[in-house]
Structure 1
Amino acid sequence: MTEKVDLDEIELEPDYRPSPDEPYMNPKQLAFFRRKLLDWRNQIVEDTTHTRQNMNESENQADEVDRASQETERYTELRTVEREQRLLSKIDAALRRIENGEFGYCEVTGEPIGVRRLEARPVATLSIEAKEAQERQERQMAED
């Protein structure tokens, strides 16, 4: 696992992208993923706040069809907020793993998850191999 580093002290170029050629989960990569997670988290909080404000401001419709449409929209917005709340928990857990020096390593095998996978899914906790094994096991259990 990686050692603790003050990531606030690391300056990243605006176009910096982690490279497989550099040491895995070096301070620059950790700072990159931390920034990515914090930006993502801030965007979700902003979107959720906006959605909740819209839900509170919506009026009750007199027309039955309009009311049904409004309820469907409200249900969809609530589901989105719930999904975003679960995602916020995953983002917070990933940020804690960065602080603890555990970020970027599979929680099952301890092997590196990989820069490309983390760029695509920075909240990933499993390597591709471990995730595929988990999915195979879930399919087998569903079939039984």
Structure 2
Amino acid sequence: MSDVKLKYSQEDLEEFKVIIQKKIARSQEDLDLLKAAYKNDADNGTDDTSPSFKSFDEGSEVMNKEANVQLAIRQEKFIRDLNNALLRIENGTYGVCRVTGKLIQKERLRLVPHATLSIEAKRKQ
């Protein structure tokens, strides 16, 4: 029989859980800032500028809002992926590569705690 571990210890899982919860909290703060930025409809005081400058300013504002919306969508996906990682911890499948079935390296999970692929499987993609 092989000595390959098929899942992480409870102690390891607790460490990963703390890392994930911290990332979720930070990511949620970032998401809230992004949402506030693109929902901000406050007038920037361009009423006294020439029409050409006002149109540049409005165009720039629209582009900034669109960029913030895109960032917010990515942030929401990241938070969802982190929450899914917490679910995998609860159901005992966390840290197992979905392609190879082997444990994902701890170093990778510390950096990318929502990873579902080992480096080996990721390289084959």
Q: When the two structures are superposed, what TM-score results if normalisation uses the length of structure 1?
A: 0.72
Partners of 2:34 and 2:102 in 1: CA distance:
39
Partners of 1:133 and 1:56 in 2: CA distance:
41
CA contact (8 A) 1:41 1:91 kept: yes
In structure 2, the partner of 1:22 is none
**Per-residue deviation, residues 7-28 of structure 1 (Å, max 9, x unmatched):** xxxxxxxxxxxxxxxxxx2222
Partners of 2:118 and 2:40 in 1: CA distance:
44
Letter in 2 for 1:101: G
CA contact (8 A) 2:37 2:65 kept: no
Offset at 1:60? 4.5
State the structure with more CA Rg.
2
**Per-residue deviation, residues 49-100 of structure 1 (Å, max 9, x unmatched):** 1221232233245511111111111111001000011111111111110001
**Per-residue deviation, residues 21-59 of structure 1 (Å, max 9, x unmatched):** xxxx22221111111111111111122112212322332
Match of 1:48 among 28, 31, 34: 31
Partners of 2:78 and 2:95 in 1: CA distance:
18
| More displaced stretch, 42-51 vs 103-112 | 42-51
Q: When the two structures are superposed, what TM-score results if normalisation uses the length of structure 2?
A: 0.82
CA contact (8 A) 1:60 1:67 kept: no
Equivalent residues in 2 for 1:57-72 (5 A)?
57-60=40-43, 62=46, 63-72=54-63
Partners of 1:120 and 1:114 in 2: CA distance:
10
Identity of matched residues, %: 29
Match of 1:88 among 79, 83, 95: 79
Partners of 1:99 and 1:48 in 2: CA distance:
25
Partners of 1:116 and 1:80 in 2: CA distance:
27
In structure 2, the partner of 1:76 is 67
CA contact (8 A) 2:97 2:103 kept: yes
Give the CA RMSD over aligned residues.
1.5
Whether 2:119 is the aligned partner of 1:124: answer no
Offset at 1:112? 0.8
Greater relative contact order (Cα < 8 A, sep 6+): 2
